[in-house]
Amino acid sequence: MTREAEYAGGMMDKRLQTRLWRVLLAMAIGGIVSLTTPSLSADENNFDETGLLTREGQHLRLTSDVNDALLLNDLIQSFDDSVPQWLAFWGVPESRAANWKIQGYLMRNVDTFRKSGALPNYVPRFDHGYSTPQTIWIRHQDTTYYNRHLVLHEGIHSLAFELFGAGGPSWYMEGTAELLALHRDRVPTPSKQPRSELSLNTSVLAQSMDAFTINQLPRDRLDTPGWGRYKIVAQHREAGTLPTLKSVLKLPTELNGEVEAYTWCWAASSLFTQSPESNAAFLKAAHNGSDQSEAFTSEFHREVAEQWPVLSARWRLMMNDLDYGFDWSRHRVKLSTSDPRASGVPIQMSVTPDQSWQSVGVWFPKGARLRFAAEGRCHVTPDWISEPAGITLEYNRGHPLGQLQVCVLPIATPAGATIPDLDIRPVITRADMAKST
């Protein structure tokens, strides 16, 4: 079965303005380690008699026709650093993978590996990566991040075979692989290690890096060069073709490297792991990974059925906001199907300015007429103070920075395959209107 991972080009770095002062009106739902670059002598970069370079770690033996030992060392180290984190994610003891090790190939000239038999004929053509239980093949990419992401993505598939028999249907298998391969590119800095302690044969400066951590959302385009998932989301958001959460779970078994499909699989997996209503069920589902049929998805859906309206609503908010700088600690909106219905009594709430959408905690009947009164100020930068109308010196997606907004969030799951645009409006008070006249 093909395990391809497609990637789109990056987008202009447009961070989320998480400082927007907003309120959610819900309708009916209310480390650090030091790594020293290995010493390399001139002959350590030489290819072996087959013309290939091999580097070996605890969990990955990597062979390549790319004459870059530093790159291979980086990929090996990143892979070994990731394995304990993958096991912790699934709640599996490290002893389960103590002796687990796979063969990997990083290929610039695919024909070289075809001719040598390292890339068997039964492996179909692929553009980026492919995996079996014991072997992964990666086509060489332009950036270190890109190569590293693919090695991790395909390695997760192989580990899922080892632990669970397989990775489940496509939405779960590819979503989990993308989730656990996503990381922020590491920028090395000169090591503080005394010069006298460095090997005299070291041909490069020793470097230190932050601890390698997986499952991190990118803060900007430079964190994940070439990953491109946010660009796909933005394009579909603008076109009004964002998929419903339910439609993601119905994706076909073979995704055939469709970049959009991988985007939705990753986004759904991120939502399910970050939502308290679905986290336990999502992790539990991994143990049924050998079942790649519709029964897998049906069982997962039964586990979260009571909370599906909340998950579906949170998905709509996520798809509206997802961009560079998106942070689950600010965007994990508290929603509940047990919120009371509005009684007509005035509701007063304080809006936390460093959070995203915030629920008023009650349901409103369809067609209800609502009136708002807003007051207060918040800092959107150390020097800028915003009132509810926002600051027109800077805009985010057409709205003034710091503007207080309201959103009607339907509880009903959209009937079609795409989600309608959210009805988002600024909270304009009479005082604001008077100031503008």
What CATH number should be reported for the domain holding residue 122?
Answer: 1.10.390.10
pLDDT of residue 203: 34
Q: Which residues of 81-98 are buried (b: 16+ CB within 10 A; e: fewer)?
A: bbbeebbebbebeeeebe
Q: Which of 248, 274, 308 is the last residue of a domain?
A: 308
265 is in which domain, residue-wise?
47-187+212-308
Is 313 within the bounds of a domain? no
The low-confidence residues of the chain, meaning pLDDT below 70, are 1-49, 187-210, 429-437
Both tokens of 45, joined, read 């970069």
pLDDT of residue 27: 33
Residues 347 and 219 in one domain: no
Is 202 within the bounds of a domain? no
Residues 148 and 268 in one domain: yes
Residues 344 and 432 in one domain: yes
pLDDT of residue 192: 44
C-alpha–C-alpha distance, residues 318 and 370, integer Å: 25
Q: Which residues pair with 214 in a beta bridge?
A: 183
Structure-derived torsion over alpha carbons of residues 165, 2, 175, 137, reported in degrees to the nearest 10: 90
C-alpha–C-alpha distance, residues 181 and 156, integer Å: 8
**Given its phi and psi angles, is residue 133 left (phi above 0), alpha (psi -120 to 50 degrees) or beta?**
alpha
Is 28 within the bounds of a domain? no
Residues 220 and 275 in one domain: yes
C-alpha–C-alpha distance, residues 174 and 177, integer Å: 5
Is 316 within the bounds of a domain? no
Q: Which of 276, 308, 340 is the last residue of a domain?
A: 308
Length of the chain: 437
pLDDT of residue 432: 60
Kind and range of the H or E element at 395?
A: strand 391-396
Is 10 within the bounds of a domain? no
Is 253 within the bounds of a domain? yes
Residues 289 and 223 in one domain: yes
Overall number of domains in the chain: 2
pLDDT of residue 171: 97
Pairing mode of beta strands 135-139, 102-107: parallel
Answer for the pair 377, 350: CB distance below 8 angstroms, yes or no: no
Q: Which of 275, 308, 341 is the last residue of a domain?
A: 308
Residues 152 and 266 in one domain: yes
Is 131 within the bounds of a domain? yes
Is 177 within the bounds of a domain? yes
Answer for the pair 141, 147: CB distance below 8 angstroms, yes or no: yes
Residues 261 and 356 in one domain: no
The whole model's pTM is what?
Answer: 0.82
Q: Tally helices (H) and strands (E) across the chain.
A: 12, 13
